[in-house]
A = this chain, B = another copy of it.
Amino acid sequence: MEQILINNDVRTYSNDEALVKTRRLQIIQGATKLFVKKGYDRTNMREVAKACNMSMGALYHYVGSKEDVLYLIIDHGLSNLAAFVEGACSRLENVSATEAIREFIEMYYRGVDADPDFTLFTYQETKNLNPSARRRVLESAARDVAACEGLLRRGIETEEFKIDNPTLVAHKIIVLGHMWAVRRWFLRKHCTLEEYIREQTESVLKRIVVDSHVASNESKGKQDVLA
Protein backbone atom coordinates (compact mmCIF):
# COMPACT_ATOMS: atom_id res chain seq x y z
CA MET A 1 0.00 0.00 0.00
CA GLU A 2 1.28 3.39 -0.91
CA GLN A 3 1.95 6.02 1.64
CA ILE A 4 -0.41 8.96 1.65
CA LEU A 5 1.13 12.32 2.28
CA ILE A 6 -0.31 15.73 2.76
CA ASN A 7 1.59 18.69 1.42
CA ASN A 8 0.17 22.17 1.78
CA ASP A 9 -3.30 20.82 2.59
CA VAL A 10 -3.30 18.85 -0.66
CA ARG A 11 -2.78 15.11 -0.90
CA THR A 12 0.12 13.57 -2.79
CA TYR A 13 1.60 10.11 -3.13
CA SER A 14 5.11 11.49 -3.61
CA ASN A 15 7.53 12.43 -0.85
CA ASP A 16 9.94 14.25 -3.12
CA GLU A 17 9.00 17.79 -2.20
CA ALA A 18 10.85 19.39 -5.07
CA LEU A 19 9.11 17.16 -7.58
CA VAL A 20 5.76 17.88 -5.99
CA LYS A 21 6.46 21.60 -6.33
CA THR A 22 7.47 21.31 -9.98
CA ARG A 23 4.52 19.15 -10.96
CA ARG A 24 2.04 21.33 -9.13
CA LEU A 25 3.32 24.40 -10.93
CA GLN A 26 2.86 22.49 -14.15
CA ILE A 27 -0.69 21.72 -13.07
CA ILE A 28 -1.44 25.30 -12.06
CA GLN A 29 -0.27 26.66 -15.36
CA GLY A 30 -2.06 24.08 -17.47
CA ALA A 31 -5.30 24.18 -15.53
CA THR A 32 -5.65 27.95 -15.12
CA LYS A 33 -5.78 28.48 -18.86
CA LEU A 34 -8.47 25.85 -19.24
CA PHE A 35 -10.53 26.89 -16.24
CA VAL A 36 -10.57 30.50 -17.32
CA LYS A 37 -11.58 29.61 -20.84
CA LYS A 38 -14.23 27.00 -20.11
CA GLY A 39 -15.03 27.42 -16.44
CA TYR A 40 -14.13 25.08 -13.66
CA ASP A 41 -17.20 22.88 -13.87
CA ARG A 42 -17.13 22.59 -17.63
CA THR A 43 -13.56 21.35 -17.65
CA ASN A 44 -12.91 17.70 -16.94
CA MET A 45 -9.84 16.08 -15.47
CA ARG A 46 -8.92 14.40 -18.73
CA GLU A 47 -8.57 17.83 -20.28
CA VAL A 48 -6.64 19.10 -17.30
CA ALA A 49 -4.23 16.16 -17.52
CA LYS A 50 -3.77 16.75 -21.22
CA ALA A 51 -3.15 20.46 -20.76
CA CYS A 52 -0.51 19.63 -18.13
CA ASN A 53 1.16 17.01 -20.31
CA MET A 54 0.43 14.40 -17.70
CA SER A 55 -1.56 11.23 -17.54
CA MET A 56 -4.59 11.16 -15.32
CA GLY A 57 -2.75 8.86 -12.96
CA ALA A 58 0.17 11.26 -12.67
CA LEU A 59 -2.20 14.14 -12.02
CA TYR A 60 -3.72 12.28 -9.12
CA HIS A 61 -0.27 11.56 -7.73
CA TYR A 62 0.23 15.19 -6.95
CA VAL A 63 -3.31 16.28 -6.24
CA GLY A 64 -6.10 14.68 -4.31
CA SER A 65 -9.10 15.93 -6.20
CA LYS A 66 -10.33 18.32 -8.81
CA GLU A 67 -11.10 20.89 -6.18
CA ASP A 68 -7.51 20.68 -5.03
CA VAL A 69 -6.48 21.97 -8.44
CA LEU A 70 -8.74 24.95 -8.01
CA TYR A 71 -7.31 25.48 -4.55
CA LEU A 72 -3.74 25.34 -5.82
CA ILE A 73 -4.47 27.89 -8.51
CA ILE A 74 -6.09 30.32 -6.15
CA ASP A 75 -3.50 29.79 -3.45
CA HIS A 76 -0.74 30.46 -5.97
CA GLY A 77 -2.39 33.62 -7.26
CA LEU A 78 -3.11 34.95 -3.81
CA SER A 79 0.47 34.39 -2.72
CA ASN A 80 1.75 36.25 -5.73
CA LEU A 81 -0.52 39.20 -5.14
CA ALA A 82 0.21 39.21 -1.41
CA ALA A 83 3.92 39.32 -2.18
CA PHE A 84 3.32 42.28 -4.47
CA VAL A 85 1.39 44.08 -1.78
CA GLU A 86 3.84 43.34 0.99
CA GLY A 87 6.77 44.31 -1.19
CA ALA A 88 5.05 47.54 -2.14
CA CYS A 89 4.21 48.48 1.43
CA SER A 90 7.67 47.82 2.74
CA ARG A 91 9.24 49.95 0.04
CA LEU A 92 6.77 52.76 0.69
CA GLU A 93 7.50 53.25 4.34
CA ASN A 94 9.67 56.26 3.80
CA VAL A 95 7.80 58.24 1.17
CA SER A 96 4.99 60.72 1.65
CA ALA A 97 1.51 59.25 1.93
CA THR A 98 0.52 60.81 -1.38
CA GLU A 99 3.47 59.28 -3.09
CA ALA A 100 2.78 55.96 -1.34
CA ILE A 101 -0.76 55.84 -2.67
CA ARG A 102 0.45 56.74 -6.14
CA GLU A 103 2.93 53.90 -6.06
CA PHE A 104 0.60 51.43 -4.42
CA ILE A 105 -2.02 51.89 -7.11
CA GLU A 106 0.56 51.61 -9.83
CA MET A 107 2.04 48.41 -8.38
CA TYR A 108 -1.25 46.76 -7.51
CA TYR A 109 -2.81 47.43 -10.88
CA ARG A 110 0.31 46.20 -12.64
CA GLY A 111 0.19 43.12 -10.44
CA VAL A 112 -3.39 42.46 -11.56
CA ASP A 113 -2.40 43.05 -15.17
CA ALA A 114 0.45 40.57 -14.87
CA ASP A 115 -2.06 37.73 -14.44
CA PRO A 116 -5.51 39.01 -15.32
CA ASP A 117 -6.85 35.49 -15.71
CA PHE A 118 -6.30 34.85 -12.05
CA THR A 119 -8.26 37.90 -10.94
CA LEU A 120 -11.10 37.16 -13.29
CA PHE A 121 -11.01 33.64 -12.01
CA THR A 122 -11.46 34.58 -8.38
CA TYR A 123 -14.52 36.63 -9.29
CA GLN A 124 -16.05 33.68 -11.10
CA GLU A 125 -15.05 30.57 -9.22
CA THR A 126 -14.54 31.45 -5.58
CA LYS A 127 -17.98 30.12 -4.80
CA ASN A 128 -16.86 26.63 -5.91
CA LEU A 129 -14.31 26.37 -3.16
CA ASN A 130 -15.14 24.63 0.07
CA PRO A 131 -15.93 26.96 2.96
CA SER A 132 -12.48 27.00 4.50
CA ALA A 133 -10.72 27.65 1.23
CA ARG A 134 -13.27 30.30 0.38
CA ARG A 135 -12.64 32.00 3.69
CA ARG A 136 -8.94 32.10 2.88
CA VAL A 137 -9.64 33.84 -0.41
CA LEU A 138 -11.89 36.41 1.19
CA GLU A 139 -9.42 37.03 3.99
CA SER A 140 -6.69 37.55 1.49
CA ALA A 141 -8.79 40.03 -0.41
CA ALA A 142 -9.52 41.82 2.83
CA ARG A 143 -5.81 41.91 3.57
CA ASP A 144 -5.14 43.81 0.34
CA VAL A 145 -7.76 46.34 1.32
CA ALA A 146 -6.26 46.61 4.79
CA ALA A 147 -2.79 47.23 3.43
CA CYS A 148 -4.06 50.04 1.29
CA GLU A 149 -6.11 51.37 4.15
CA GLY A 150 -2.91 51.47 6.24
CA LEU A 151 -1.34 53.85 3.75
CA LEU A 152 -4.43 56.02 3.77
CA ARG A 153 -4.45 56.19 7.55
CA ARG A 154 -0.82 57.21 7.51
CA GLY A 155 -1.78 60.14 5.32
CA ILE A 156 -4.61 61.04 7.68
CA GLU A 157 -2.22 61.05 10.62
CA THR A 158 0.21 63.28 8.74
CA GLU A 159 -2.77 65.40 7.77
CA GLU A 160 -1.95 64.95 4.10
CA PHE A 161 -5.36 63.30 3.65
CA LYS A 162 -8.84 63.96 4.87
CA ILE A 163 -11.04 60.87 4.55
CA ASP A 164 -14.36 60.03 6.16
CA ASN A 165 -14.28 56.30 5.61
CA PRO A 166 -10.79 55.11 4.69
CA THR A 167 -11.91 51.49 4.42
CA LEU A 168 -14.34 52.46 1.72
CA VAL A 169 -11.72 54.35 -0.23
CA ALA A 170 -9.19 51.57 0.11
CA HIS A 171 -11.78 49.10 -1.07
CA LYS A 172 -12.50 51.23 -4.09
CA ILE A 173 -8.83 51.38 -5.00
CA ILE A 174 -8.57 47.62 -4.81
CA VAL A 175 -11.73 46.68 -6.72
CA LEU A 176 -11.01 49.17 -9.48
CA GLY A 177 -7.74 47.32 -9.88
CA HIS A 178 -9.63 44.06 -10.17
CA MET A 179 -11.95 45.59 -12.72
CA TRP A 180 -9.01 46.14 -15.02
CA ALA A 181 -8.93 42.35 -15.35
CA VAL A 182 -12.62 41.56 -14.99
CA ARG A 183 -13.80 44.18 -17.51
CA ARG A 184 -10.89 43.79 -19.86
CA TRP A 185 -13.31 43.14 -22.71
CA PHE A 186 -14.61 46.68 -22.28
CA LEU A 187 -11.63 48.65 -21.04
CA ARG A 188 -9.18 47.38 -23.62
CA LYS A 189 -11.23 49.21 -26.22
CA HIS A 190 -11.18 52.52 -24.40
CA CYS A 191 -7.84 53.01 -22.68
CA THR A 192 -4.41 51.67 -21.89
CA LEU A 193 -3.33 50.42 -18.50
CA GLU A 194 -1.32 53.62 -18.03
CA GLU A 195 -4.34 55.81 -18.69
CA TYR A 196 -6.43 53.65 -16.38
CA ILE A 197 -3.90 53.91 -13.59
CA ARG A 198 -3.59 57.66 -13.99
CA GLU A 199 -7.34 58.17 -14.01
CA GLN A 200 -7.90 56.20 -10.81
CA THR A 201 -4.87 57.76 -9.14
CA GLU A 202 -5.88 61.33 -9.86
CA SER A 203 -9.46 60.64 -8.97
CA VAL A 204 -8.54 59.20 -5.61
CA LEU A 205 -6.03 61.89 -4.77
CA LYS A 206 -8.40 64.66 -5.71
CA ARG A 207 -10.89 63.12 -3.30
CA ILE A 208 -8.58 62.69 -0.31
CA VAL A 209 -5.70 65.16 -0.43
CA VAL A 210 -6.36 68.17 1.77
CA ASP A 211 -6.29 71.53 0.00
CA SER A 212 -3.08 72.87 1.52
CA HIS A 213 -1.22 69.83 0.18
CA VAL A 214 -2.68 70.13 -3.27
CA ALA A 215 -0.59 73.23 -3.73
CA SER A 216 2.64 71.39 -2.99
CA ASN A 217 1.78 68.58 -5.42
CA GLU A 218 0.29 70.91 -7.93
CA SER A 219 3.02 70.79 -10.50
CA LYS A 220 3.01 67.01 -10.75
CA GLY A 221 -0.76 66.71 -10.55
CA LYS A 222 -1.28 69.29 -13.25
CA GLN A 223 1.11 67.50 -15.55
CA ASP A 224 -0.90 64.31 -15.17
CA VAL A 225 -4.16 65.99 -15.78
CA LEU A 226 -2.89 67.87 -18.79
CA ALA A 227 -0.92 64.99 -20.26
Contact = CB atoms under 8 A, between A and B. Distances in A.
Interface in A161-183: 164-165, 167-169, 171-172, 175-176, 179, 182-183
A3 B45 CA distance: 10
Tally of this chain's copies: 4
A179 B168 contact: no
Q: Is the interface of A mostly helix, strand, loop or mixed?
A: helix
A191 B145 CA distance: 15
A42 B41 contact: yes
A164 B199 contact: yes
Given A124-B123, A142-B186, A185-B138, A207 B196 contact: no
Interface string A189-227: 011000110011011101100000000000000000100
Contacts of A187: 168, 171
Interface string A97-118: 0000000000000000000000
Interface string A1-38: 11100000000010000000000000000000010001
A3 B28 CA distance: 19
Contact of A145 (B127, B186, B196, B204): B186
Nearest to A190: B167
A225 B163 CA distance: 9
Interface in A123-169: 123-124, 127-128, 138, 141-142, 145, 164-165, 167-169
Given A46-B3, A124-B124, A175 B164 contact: no
Nearest to A167: B190
A91 interface: no
A50 interface: yes
A39 interface: yes
Interface of A: 1-3, 13, 34, 38-42, 46-47, 50, 123-124, 127-128, 138, 141-142, 145, 164-165, 167-169, 171-172, 175-176, 179, 182-183, 185-187, 190-191, 195-196, 199-200, 202-204, 206-207, 225
